[in-house]
């Protein structure tokens, strides 16, 4: 089983939106379409996407205003944003990047270019969403085959612990609050208590056995996956 990266497409021109949606679907993404800022905000409130494709010129609030707002909001500040626009000059490109967009693509663009830029941004910002094997210290996780190992010894993880470790490994050495983990791993922070995170972190540590020490509690802040001297990969001779 594989989690397809979810992509919120905010675009008011339905012909362009449909083209993007169809292409994303054919290329292993899960697109969600919103026509304007209100619809986009509603989708984000329901579940934080892995990536946002954001048109600049929208009815109501512009893409620029939305990018600025999402960049400072705790739920969305780490979500990669690619701005789509007919505006191609440098001043606009700078304004888009200043607003917090990760990249910028001028219309008309080819699907190939769009996909390449999306993958580049995801590799940089959310490598766990791409379905490629990840390795941190001696831990290796392969989302395609659903396998986890530590120093080549296979480990057994429950589905939630697998998702949690997947996220941690995509963002090693960074501290994540319980709220952020609920958003990223459970996908909806509204109906689950933060205590649930603690329960699954405990199970994850148990399942990781020796490597469990890599999942650190950061007091008052949350959790972090970190490489420890005792969990470094054993060099093969």
Which of 4, 19, 47, 57 touches Ca ion (CB under 5 A)?
A: 57
Binding span for Ca ion by CB under 5 A among 9-17, 102-110, 184-192, 198-206: 9-17
Pick the closer one to Ca ion by CB: 67 or 169: 67
Question: Which range of residues in 12-20, 143-151, 163-171, 227-235 is near Ca ion by CB under 5 A?
Answer: 12-20
Instruction: State in angstroms the smallest separation of the CB of 12 from Ca ion.
Output: 5
Are 209 and 155 in contact by the 8 Å Cβ rule? The answer is yes
Cβ neighbors of 91 (< 8 A, separation 6 or more) are: none
Residue 35 or 157 having the CB closest to Ca ion:
35
Give whichever of 12 and 61 is closer to Ca ion, judged by the CB atom: 12
**Other beta carbons within 10 Å of 89:** 8
Residue 221 exposed, middle or buried by CB count within 10 Å (0-12, 13-18, 19+): exposed
Among 3, 4, 12, 187, binds Ca ion (CB under 5 A): 12
Neighbours of 235 (CB within 10 A): 5
Nearer to Ca ion, 114 or 148 (CB): 114
Q: How far apart are CA 49 and CA 40, in angstroms?
A: 11
Q: What are the residues binding Ca ion (CB under 5 A)?
A: 12, 55, 57
């Amino acid at each position: 089983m594989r989690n397809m990266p979810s992509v919120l497409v905010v675009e008011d021109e339905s012909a362009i939106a449909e083209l993007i949606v169809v292409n994303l679907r054919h290329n292993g993404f899960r697109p969600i379409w919103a026509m304007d800022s209100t619809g986009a905000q509603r989708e984000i409130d329901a579940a934080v996407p892995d990536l946002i494709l954001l048109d600049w010129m929208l009815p109501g609030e512009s893409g620029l205003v939305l990018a600025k707002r999402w960049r400072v909001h705790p739920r969305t500040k780490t979500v990669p944003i690619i701005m789509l626009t007919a505006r191609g000059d440098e001043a606009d490109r700078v304004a888009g990047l200043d607003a917090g967009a990760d990249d910028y693509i001028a219309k008309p663009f080819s699907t190939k270019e769009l996909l390449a830029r999306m993958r580049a941004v995801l590799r940089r910002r959310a490598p766990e969403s791409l379905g490629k094997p990840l390795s941190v210290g001696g831990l290796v996780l392969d989302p395609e085959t659903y396998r986890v190992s530590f120093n080549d010894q296979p480990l057994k993880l429950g589905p939630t612990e697998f998702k949690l470790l997947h996220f941690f490994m995509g963002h090693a050495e960074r501290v994540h609050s319980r709220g952020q983990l609920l958003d990223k791993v459970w996908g909806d922070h509204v109906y689950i208590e933060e205590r649930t995170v603690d329960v699954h972190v405990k199970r994850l540590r148990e399942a990781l056995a020796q490597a469990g020490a890599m999942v650190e509690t950061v007091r008052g802040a949350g959790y972090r996956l970190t490489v420890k001297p005792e969990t470094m990969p054993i060099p093969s001779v």
